[in-house]
Amino acid sequence: MQAVGRARRADAQRNIGSLVQTASEVFAESGLDVPIREIADRAGVGVGTLYRHFPTRSDLVVAVFRKEVDESVEAASVLAAERPPGEALERWVEGYVDFIAAHRGLAAAFNSGDPALEGLPAYFLERLGPLVQALLDAAAVDGQIRAGVKANELLHGVGMLCVPPSCGEPTDPQRMVGLFMDGLRYAAKRAGIAEATP
């Protein structure tokens, strides 16, 4: 009997994992308003199974967002351990731009008044803030970027550069953020020149 119970729990966990992963892909492709049945069909489960694990669309959005924030935290940790500070920061920022592009509908969802989504921005900053600050500080100590940049400044600055302009030609977010990062590096070089000048 215990073996049966464990098998059912394992099946449930697989279903949850499949649903969250599939929802992540579908939301990135089609936005947060995609029909729930499409997610269930692509995950290979019935709609009833989806609703049993995620009674509302908001519950699924929260699960997807938390999973992807946790993956971004893990990516920052791996980069910090395996790459030089400046490269670690640059690669993480490139991934963050992709993260923003895949979640364009979240800004509107955050402002929708749905209480299930209210805690997501705080979760994002609490989980990512310390690791992003560590990446920034390490790059600054290594002389790769200007000192004193705060995690929330980087996160918000990059986020704003990824917002499509309301008028004029569309911009390439990776290029815009690349220019922003060039500015951080230029300031570090200027500071180094100033310190070396007698």
- Angle at the Cα of 183 (from 139 to 186), degrees rounded to 5? 70
- Classify burial at 140, counting beta carbons within 10 Å of its beta carbon; exposed 0-12, middle 13-18, buried 19 or more: buried
* 72-86 confidence digits (pLDDT tens): 999 999 999 999 999
CATH number at residue 38: 1.10.10.60
Residues 124 and 43 in one domain: no
Whether 95 has a pLDDT exceeding 80, the answer reads yes
- The pTM score is 0.81
CATH number at 145 reads 1.10.357.10
- Residue whose pair of structure tokens reads 């509107």 in the numeric block: 108
Note whether 10 and 108 are same-domain residues: no
Alpha-carbon distance of 143 to 132, in angstroms, equals 17
What's the confidence (pLDDT) of residue 1? 47
Q: What is the mean pLDDT of the chain?
A: 85
Lowest-pLDDT range of 30-34, 58-62, 123-127, 154-158: 30-34
Spatial separation of the C-alpha atoms in residues 11 and 66, rounded to whole Å: 21
- The 10s digit of each residue's pLDDT in 119-156 is 888 898 999 999 999 999 999 999 999 999 999 999 99
62 lies in the same domain as 156: yes
Nearest to 191, CA basis, from 136, 138, 140? 140
For 153-189, the pLDDT digits (tens) are 999 999 888 877 666 666 788 999 999 999 998 867 7
